[in-house]
Amino acid sequence: STVFEADKASEDVDALFFDADGDGDMDLYVVSGGNEFPLNDVRLQDRLYINDGTGNFVRDKKAIPSVYHSGGVVVPFDHDRDGDVDLFVGSYVTPGRYPEMPQSTLLENNNGQFTDQSNNWFSENSSIGMINDAVFTDLNNDGTPELVLSGEWMPITILGLENGKWADQTSSYGLDKNIGWWHSVSAMDVNGDGYQDLIAGNLGLNSIFKASAKEPTTLYYKDFDNNKSIDPILCTYVEGESYPILNRDRLLNHMVFLKKRFTRYAPYARAKIEDIFTEAELKDAGYLEANNFEHTVFINNGKGGFETQSLPFETQWSVLNTAISWDLDGDGTTEVIVGGNYYGTDAEFSRYDASIGTALKWNGTHFDVIPAKDTGLMLDGNLRHLKPITIDGEQKLLVIRNNEQFSLFGNNKAN
């Protein structure tokens, strides 16, 4: 379509069909993102395409505010309970300033015109993390949904309404200590007790990066070489000691002033972060750490907290980007399907491509894996989303991959 072709320079990272203007047809909101554009670049502007009622779309440039954030996700909700659809747009990165926390946005819908209410609807500020996924779900069955967020260098985060504003309630739910590189979060009633549980996708365990409370993966960041850009220094543990992950050539080419400190390879190979930078240089550096890279199910205990379980080992081979509840075998009860992979890694590290998707069945206390030979599912590739859809009355699973054609799977109907 010509209207979409005109915006091909932007990087589309998420999209939502919803009725923006209340005329009964589905309009389209597209989130722009990526790290290839400079801060405040016009190509980071999100887009709203209005449906004319016949399936033709026209971009409405006046309906949404000019906000040049690198986005990660958009989800609908009705904050003011006026019957129309408001939007939460989670921002993922601050271009060129990783890992500075970007500002996310709450958009109020007024007859198809959206205004930024972030300053009024967030209880503190809108820099709530590097958000890549979000879901509204009622965790405590009080009739009001909570906003659950995933992102890097943060816990699975829960925001709840307090006096009409979204406030951080993560610690009250007991999730604040579980810091990961979370890639996704989904809400579903896993154990059938009437409370929404959470399935959270993380980095997984098949990686050079390891994380635990005792030996976290850490990140130091500041403008170490005074060139007005942020220098992130990632460290991970090897045999009980934490070392910068970058090799000497890459780090020293990036920060030339270090070449005088490390004229040979051997001293650098033994150097910890405190050996590379002086105490004064590290004193005002930002610091982040992650202590868990496992894909996790958080079982809602119905008492304002969660019980934490790691997902089965077979799911941990790669990044997990999506999880859905779906009746895989057509027997009237749902299974959980998870999948992922991620190809956009730094050239020095291997891409995450070991997942072919996994089907899970809750057995009353934990998940069992349904073997791939029994499901027929092959969810390999750079998988981003799984979406259940109905075609001619038949239940199908839409498999969406990055820069690839989508595919469809049907369920195995029970005899």
Mapped onto helix, strand or coil, the DSSP state of residue 362 is strand
| Cα-Cα end-to-end distance for the chain | 43
CA gap 23, 30 in Å, rounded: 19
Q: Which amino acid is at 285?
A: A
DSSP, res 260: G
Examine residue 349 and state whether it is found in any structural domain, yes or no: yes
Residues 166 and 250 in one domain: no
Which pLDDT value is given to residue 413?
63
Structure tokens at 36: 């290839």
Residues 273 and 372 in one domain: no
User: Residues 41, 68: contact at Cβ < 8 Å?
Assistant: yes
| Distant-in-sequence, close-in-space partners of 30: CB < 8 Å, separation ≥ 6 | 7, 10, 12, 14, 15, 46, 47, 48, 49
Nearest alpha-carbon partner for 82 in 56, 117, 55: 117
User: Residues 296, 309: contact at Cβ < 8 Å?
Assistant: yes
Residues 63 and 149 in one domain: yes
Residues 326 and 315 in one domain: yes
Strand partners, 390: 395
My answer on whether omega of the bond before 99 falls inside 30° of 0, hence cis, is yes
| Distant-in-sequence, close-in-space partners of 408: CB < 8 Å, separation ≥ 6 | 391, 396, 397, 398, 399
Residues 35 and 71 in one domain: yes
Q: Note the pLDDT tens digit of each residue in 283-309.
A: 999 999 999 999 999 999 999 999 999
User: Residues 132, 72: contact at Cβ < 8 Å?
Assistant: yes
Which pLDDT value is given to residue 331?
84
Which pLDDT value is given to residue 415?
42
Residues 248 and 182 in one domain: no
Examine residue 212 and state whether it is found in any structural domain, yes or no: no
pTM attached to this predicted model:
0.96
Examine residue 415 and state whether it is found in any structural domain, yes or no: no
Examine residue 8 and state whether it is found in any structural domain, yes or no: yes
Structure tokens at 135: 């879901």
Residues 269 and 198 in one domain: no
Examine residue 59 and state whether it is found in any structural domain, yes or no: yes
Residues 247 and 383 in one domain: no
Q: Tell which of 273, 290, 307 closes a domain.
A: 290
pLDDT < 70 stretches in the chain: 412-415
Q: How many domains does the chain have?
A: 2
Which pLDDT value is given to residue 208?
92
Residues 42 and 75 in one domain: yes
Examine residue 210 and state whether it is found in any structural domain, yes or no: no
Q: Tell which of 230, 257, 290 closes a domain.
A: 290
The single residue listed with the structure tokens 């016009």 is 42
Strand partners, 186: 199
Residues 180 and 320 in one domain: yes
**CATH number for 146:** 2.130.10.10
Residues 346 and 255 in one domain: no
> Which helix H or strand E contains 273, and what residues bound it?
helix 273-276
Residues 137 and 198 in one domain: yes
CA gap 121, 89 in Å, rounded: 13
Would you give the distance in Å from CA 401 to the centre of its chain? 15
User: Residues 209, 180: contact at Cβ < 8 Å?
Assistant: no
Which pLDDT value is given to residue 346?
82
Q: Tell which of 290, 314, 334 closes a domain.
A: 290
The single residue listed with the structure tokens 């000691």 is 241
Identify the domain containing residue 304 by its residue range.
Answer: 2-204+292-410
